[in-house]
Every structure is written in C-alpha cells, then in structure tokens.
Structure 1
C-alpha cells in the first residue's frame, strides 16, 4: 500500500506573516516532495507552518492555488535552447525539440502544470507566442511558406508534448503499481503467430512507447517532410527566377 503524502513540519509562523508569494513558493517545494496530485491545503499549511485558514484567505480552493502555480511556471519557464536558425533550421529545430523534451522529462512539476493541466489553456499559448513567432519566422526564411512553417513547428511541439506526457503517465502508473502491463515494458508478439512483431519487439522496439527511439524516429519524419517541402518550393521557384533574368 502506498504511504500517504506527508510534509516536513516547520516552526509555526505568526498570524498574518504569510503572503501569496510565500504560499506559491511553498506549494512548489511541497509538490517536489509529494507531487501535484497529492498536494493539499492541509499539507501545505503544515509545510509552511501556518493554519490552513491562512492559505484559504488567499486561495479559496486547491484549483485556485494550482492556477497561480501554473501562471508562475509559465511566466518563469524558458527553454534552455538556442532559437531556431534559418541557416541551420533542421539541426537547430531538432536541438530545440530535444531540449524541450529533456527539460520537461527532468521536471515532473513543470510537466504536470504546463503540459497536462494547462495544455489547452489560452494563457499557456500566450506565454510562448513570441518564441513561436521567432521560430516560424526562421522557418519561413529557410524556405517554408508561413502555413507550412506553422504546421511544422506545431507538429514538433505536439510530438514533444505527447512524448513527455505519455512518459509521465507511464511513470505515474508504475509508481501506483500499475505499470506491469504498460507498452514500454512489454515484449509483444510470438515467433509462431507474429514473427516480425516478436523480432523487433525483442530488439527493443516499442509500439506506443514514449522512449528515445520512438521520439527520434517521429522527429526525423517531421523534419524530413519539412525538408521535402523546402526542396519542392525551391524547384518551383527556379524557373521564375530564370525568366526574370
């Protein structure tokens, strides 16, 4: 049986000594220990050394606190990766994608708040729109139309987020003792009924697994398609250039 979430007890604060910033910072500290799912107002009060009513004064329910945590995560989160460069669009976009994935994979709290909880939130979109604009501009300079540049970056973003979220859900299930039948663990197929499936599965390939192999294969497919679009656009533009000459 899983142990209930607990928080380290601090000396009790004086009444009125807590503020929203302290509460949010403490919530991040506590979430690192017990996870976003197990974060609760009573646990947070114990962690901060205040009565739970002091927290409810600023955040009437857990969802309000999670909204504030998400806003802070979105405001402070910056991908540790160089911008997508037009002159080296393929490698720089691949590096950007790998850095995004590495950052989220290494921080479950960011993943839970930004990718899972706020995946469809308008504020999540707005928080990164300047970075997306720069990436799309570089892809247009590299030879894609604005529409294809947008779709390419969007596909990379969805691929990264999908890979991270699937891995995060797998980790949650495994922690809960439900991971034995996950696709990331399973070798599927038999030599008699599905020999090809059994062969590649035994070699480490996984259907639906959010592993490095599947991530890199999918990323390569997106980049290959973008490269083909750029090449096709270059070829179609060449006759026009010659006629102008």
Structure 2
C-alpha cells in the first residue's frame, strides 16, 4: 500500500550540489512512500530539497529516471539470484526460481520496475540477456537440447513472473477501499453443486492463487517434464539380439 508522502521538507540544497546518484537514491526513498505510479518530478524535488529543474538537468523526463532506477534494481535482482548449475540442474533451477519469486515479493518497487513496467534500458536489457544465456547454457549442458533448454527456462520465467504479478495485483486491489484481492474471494462454493472444489478449498487449496502451494506445484511440473526430456535424450543400450542383427 502506498504511504502518504512525508510533508517534512529537507533543508534546501545549494545549486549544483546534487548528482544523479543522489536523485536515484531519493527516488527510491520516495517510491517506498508513494509508489512508482505516484512518483513525480515536483514531488521528488520537494523530497530532495531542490528545485525541479535540478532534476531535469540530469533526467529530462520521468521515464528517463525510471530507466535509471530499473538499471539499479536489475543489478540488485541479478546479484540476489543464484546461478543454475549443470551438475545438479534440478535443485539449482528450483532454487533459482524460488529466489527470483522471493526477491520480487519482498520488494514491490523492484516488481513494479522490472515486471509490471517492463521497460528496460539497453544496458539493463543486455544484463538480462547475459543472465538468461548462462542459465540456458547450463540446462543444455545437463542434457537438454538447446530448444528444450530455452523452453524450460522460459516456462520457469513465466511461472515466476506470473505468480509475482498476480500477488502484486492482489495486494494493490486489497489496498483499494477494502476490495477483494481476487475473484476467488467473491466465489460462493456450494458443496452440493461443487463437491470437489469445496473439498479442496477446505484443505487449504486455492484456485488461481499465487500462493506457495500453487507455485510449488507448477514448478515441480516444469522440473519433472525437463527431467523426462533429459532421460529420453540418453542413448539406449542395444540388446544382444539387436547387436547380433547389426553384425
């Protein structure tokens, strides 16, 4: 939930005493209070104690500032995400996915900048490509074909991002006048007409929710499918009869 911006003004800075890093740091501080959507140059100027023209000197429009914030956020995200290793690909890919999700859920600003806004500068996009290439390379080394390695990592990425964005939208909806977070909260489940749904709901299962249980189920389905593909790619040993026929 966006907090009300503080009304306490910082002491007015001297002209020319601010730099891009100061502005970006202040933008993250302010975004924690008001959210990315409500972040504005005039509000940031008041937060930093400078005239808005001092900000425009370095960032000509809000999108330029958000791109710079995304560059920094992406570095934090890449640093926090463990690599995928070929020798124990299933465990490391699972941990990779869980850490990605945990990192985004724990930092709404990171989620809004990278996943929801999803506008990367060329430098940030290049950083993302290098990280994805490394993961796909490890999966191919583990035994997947290049195409299957790509599809497996793509499925993991979509699964993680979908789970996080659904949770973020749920949180945003819940913060608006007490509105329900998702459609499931408005569903009336009658055991007489939907006995299976009622039984699963009574056991704590939620349909279409971005909770841990649904996330782990989907993640395990992707990992299991990749394991079958690797197993199928291994050469089979010929039986003695086949060897004789071949001779």
Same fold by TM-score greater than 0.5: yes
Number of equivalences: 241
TM-score (norm 1): 0.88
Aligned pairs for 1:1-245 (under 5 A) are: 5-6=5-6, 8-118=8-118, 124-177=124-177, 179-180=179-180, 182-183=182-183, 185=185, 188-234=188-234, 237-239=235-237
Give the 3 Å change call, closer, same or farther, for CA 143–188 of structure 1 in structure 2. Answer: farther
Write the distance in 1 (CA, Å) between the matches of 2:133 and 2:3: 46
Q: Deviations over 1:99-145 (max 9, x none)?
A: 11111110111100011111687655422222222222221121110
CA RMSD of aligned residues (A): 2.6
SS of the equivalent of 1:238 reads coil
Q: Deviations over 1:1-33 (max 9, x none)?
A: x97544542111012212222111110111112
TM-score (norm 2): 0.87
Kept in 2, the 8 Å contact 1:184–1:211? The answer is no
**How far is 1:89 from its partner?**
0.9
Kept in 2, the 8 Å contact 1:26–1:48? The answer is yes
Give the 3 Å change call, closer, same or farther, for CA 207–75 of structure 1 in structure 2. Answer: same
